[in-house]
Structure 1
Amino acid sequence: MDMRQLQTLVAVADTGSFAAAARIVNLTASAVSQQIQALEGELGVVLFDRRTRPPRLNAKGEEVVRAARGVVRILTETRAAISGGRTAGVLKIGAIRTVSMQLVPLAFAAIRPAYPDLTFDLKVGMSEGLMADVAAGRLDAAVVAEHVGVPTGLIWRPVLTEPLVLAAPAGAEGRDAAALLSDLPFIRYETGVPLARQIETELSRMGVRPAGIAVTNTMPAIVGCVAAGLGVAVVPRIALLDVPLGLVRAVPFGDGAITRRLGLAERQVSARAEVLKALARALGDAVAPSPAELDPPV
C-alpha cells in the first residue's frame, strides 16, 4: 500500500467513477483499476461492489476511504513541514447558513495573509450533516451550533456565544418581546435542530402562545418574512448581519439570557490543527455589530 494508491482511492470516492478519477490523478482508467485491485489485494478485502456500473464503494470501502483521507492529508503536510514549505492545499470547511454569509468569509480573509498558498472550499449545511462529513474526512472542520451528540473522534471547540433576539419589522418601536409576540403574528423556525427546540422552550416558559402566520426552515427566509412586515420571529442576532438598516429591529428576548453557542467541530487528531486554531481565533474576532438596531428593554 503506497501513497499513490490511497490518493487514487480518494479520487474515485470523490468523483464517483474510475474514469473520472483517472483525470484527477493523471492515469488511464485501466491503471486506476489496477491500483485499486492491488490495494484490495494488499488489504485482503474487496472495496467496491462491481455489480454496479460504475462500481460503488461498499461498507469496507467507505471505511478505508475515511482512513485514506487522513493518511494522505497528514503525509502531504508532513512533507511540506520537513521541506520547509508553507501550508498549502484546500481547507475544506462546513458552516451552518447563518455564519456562512459573513462570519466565515471574514475569518477566511483574516487568515489568508498567514497562509497565502491555502485555498478554501466552503460547504453550507445543517449541523448534523456537517459533523458527519467531518467524521468521514470529507471536511477538515465545520462551524456548527452547540450539539449534544458530537460523534466519537471529534472535538467541538467553542468560538463565540450569541444572544437570541426577537426580530420585529420596522415601526415596532416601544414594545417589549412579550407585547410584540402578543400583538403581531409569529414566524416559526421549524427544523429538527436544537435551536428550534430552544426557541419553543423559551416561548413556553414565558407563557406565550403567539398566533402563527408562517413556518420555514431557514433563517434567511425567516428574516425575509420579518423584513417584509409579516410578523415577528426569534433568531440569533448574527442572522441579522445582512439586513439593511431600518428594515428590522432586534428586541431583547428572554431577558437577554437566551444564547446560542457556535463552535468548530474537528477531528481529535488533525493535520490541519494549526490552521484550524487560527481559523477559530479569526471566527471569534470576526463578529461585527448587527445593522439592525437593538431596542433598549422596555
Structure 2
Amino acid sequence: MSIRRLRTLIAVEEHSTFSAAADSVFITHAAVSQQMRMLEEEWQVTLFDRSRRTPQLTPVGRALVAKAKEIVRAYDTIVPSVIGDAGFQGEILLGAVPMTLTGLTPLAVRRLKDSYPDLHVRIFPGLTTQLIAQVDRGAVDAAILSRHRPLPPDMEYTDIALEPMQLIAAQDMPSNDPLELLANYPFIRFSRDAVVGNLIDGWLQESGIRVNATMELEGLEAISSMVLAGLGVSIVPARCVRDFNPLPLKRLPLPEGAPARRLTLAYRRDNPRLPVIEEIHKALLEAVRIGVFQQMPQQKEGTP
C-alpha cells in the first residue's frame, strides 16, 4: 500500500468518476484504474461495483475511504506534529474562490508576508465545493470560500466579510431601478456552479422575477466586461475589497431581502498549523478594513 494510492482512492470518492479523479491527482484514467485494482488485490476486497457504466464504491469501499482519509491526514501532519513547528516559515497552501483573487486574497497575503517574510503562501483557485473537499482531505491548509451550508464534521470556519448583492449595468442605461432593468434588458447570469450563482438564482425565483438570461459566465471580470459592452445587466456581489481601478458601471443595491455572500475561511480543526491560519484570518480582516486593493512596495524575497 502507498500513500499515493490512498490519495487516488480518496479522489475517486470525491469526484465520483475515474476520469475526474485522474485530473485531480494528475495521472491518467488508466493509472487510476490500475491503482484501484492493485489496492483490491492487496486488501483482498472489492472496492467498486463495476457492473454499472460508472463504477460505484461498495459499502466496504466507502468504509475504507474513511480510514484512508485518516491515514493520509496523519501522514501529512507527521513532521509538524513531532517537531512542534509553529509554521511561520516554509510553505502553506491556501485555497481561494476566483472572485477574491484580484482584491481580497492578494492584499491579505501581502499583509501576511510583511509580518512573516519566511512564510511562502501557495494559492489554489477553486469553487467552494471543490475547496471544501480539498481542505477536508488535507490538500490545502485553509480556503477562502462562500459559506453556504454545514461543513464536514472535522472542519471549522471563521467569517471574513458579508458581501451584499448588487445589480451592475452600463452607465448609459436609462434607469436606476434594478427591477426595471432586470425586466427590460438581457440578463447575464453568474454561473450556477458557484455558490453565488445559486444564491442569485434562488432569490430571483423566490421573488418571482423573470429574466431573459442570454449568457452564463463564471468570472466577475468576464461578466463586468459584457455589461460594460452593453450586452445586458447582471447581479454580482459588492466586493469587500474593491479593485484599484474598477470598470465604470452603475452599481445599484437590490431591494431589501436580497441575498448576500458570506466569505469565510475554512480549515480542519486538527491542522497543526492553526497559529498560521489564525494569522491568515487576521490579514484577511485587515484587508477588508482597508477595503481597496492598491499596489504596495515590492520587497526582495526574505527581506522584512
Structure number with bigger Rg: 1
Tell whether the 8 Å contact from 1:70 to 1:137 is kept in structure 2 after alignment: no
Note closer, same or farther for the CA distance 1:120–1:290 as it changes in structure 2 (3 Å cut).
closer
Counterparts of 1:202-217 in structure 2, within 5 Å, are 202-217=203-218
Unpaired segments of 5 or more residues in structure 1?
1-8, 17-47, 53-57, 292-298
Partner of 1:124: 125
Equivalent position SS for 2:250: strand
Note closer, same or farther for the CA distance 1:208–1:290 as it changes in structure 2 (3 Å cut).
farther
Note closer, same or farther for the CA distance 1:239–1:218 as it changes in structure 2 (3 Å cut).
farther
Letter in 2 for 1:74: S
Equivalent position SS for 1:108: helix
Unpaired segments of 5 or more residues in structure 2?
9-34, 40-63, 294-304
> CA-atom RMSD, angstroms?
3.1
Note closer, same or farther for the CA distance 1:87–1:240 as it changes in structure 2 (3 Å cut).
closer
Partner of 2:76: 69
Tell me the CA shift for residue 137 of structure 1. 0.9
Partner of 1:269: 270
State how far apart, in whole Å, the 1-side matches of 2:201 and 2:231 are: 19
Partner of 2:24: none
Q: What do residues 113-160 of structure 1 show as CA deviations (whole Å, max 9, x unaligned)? A: 322211010000011111111111111100010121311200111111
Partner of 2:157: 156
Tell whether the 8 Å contact from 1:134 to 1:140 is kept in structure 2 after alignment: yes
State how far apart, in whole Å, the 2-side matches of 1:282 and 1:276 are: 10
State how far apart, in whole Å, the 1-side matches of 2:230 and 2:244 are: 13
Note closer, same or farther for the CA distance 1:262–1:137 as it changes in structure 2 (3 Å cut).
same
Partner of 1:285: 286
Note closer, same or farther for the CA distance 1:106–1:256 as it changes in structure 2 (3 Å cut).
farther
Tell me the CA shift for residue 198 of structure 1. 1.7
Counterparts of 1:88-99 in structure 2, within 5 Å, are 88-99=89-100
Q: Tell me if 1:107 matches 2:108.
A: yes
State how far apart, in whole Å, the 2-side matches of 1:154 and 1:138 are: 13
Tell whether the 8 Å contact from 1:89 to 1:119 is kept in structure 2 after alignment: yes
Note closer, same or farther for the CA distance 1:108–1:51 as it changes in structure 2 (3 Å cut).
same
Q: Which TM-score applies when normalising by structure 2?
A: 0.69
Letter in 1 for 2:173: A
Equivalent position SS for 2:77: helix
Letter in 1 for 2:108: A
Tell whether the 8 Å contact from 1:219 to 1:235 is kept in structure 2 after alignment: yes
Tell me the CA shift for residue 174 of structure 1. 4.3
Tell me the CA shift for residue 233 of structure 1. 0.6
Counterparts of 1:127-276 in structure 2, within 5 Å, are 127-172=128-173, 174-238=175-239, 241-242=242-243, 244-245=245-246, 247-255=248-256, 258-276=259-277
Equivalent position SS for 2:176: coil
State how far apart, in whole Å, the 2-side matches of 1:162 and 1:66 are: 33
State how far apart, in whole Å, the 1-side matches of 2:82 and 2:224 are: 45
Q: Which TM-score applies when normalising by structure 1?
A: 0.71
Tell whether the 8 Å contact from 1:154 to 1:266 is kept in structure 2 after alignment: yes
Tell me the CA shift for residue 63 of structure 1. 4.5
Tell me the CA shift for residue 50 of structure 1. 8.4
State how far apart, in whole Å, the 2-side matches of 1:113 and 1:146 are: 28
Equivalent position SS for 1:72: helix
Q: What do residues 4-24 of structure 1 show as CA deviations (whole Å, max 9, x unaligned)? A: xxxxx76x67999xxxxxxxx
Tell me the CA shift for residue 240 of structure 1. 8.9
Between the aligned residues of both structures, percent identity stands at: 29
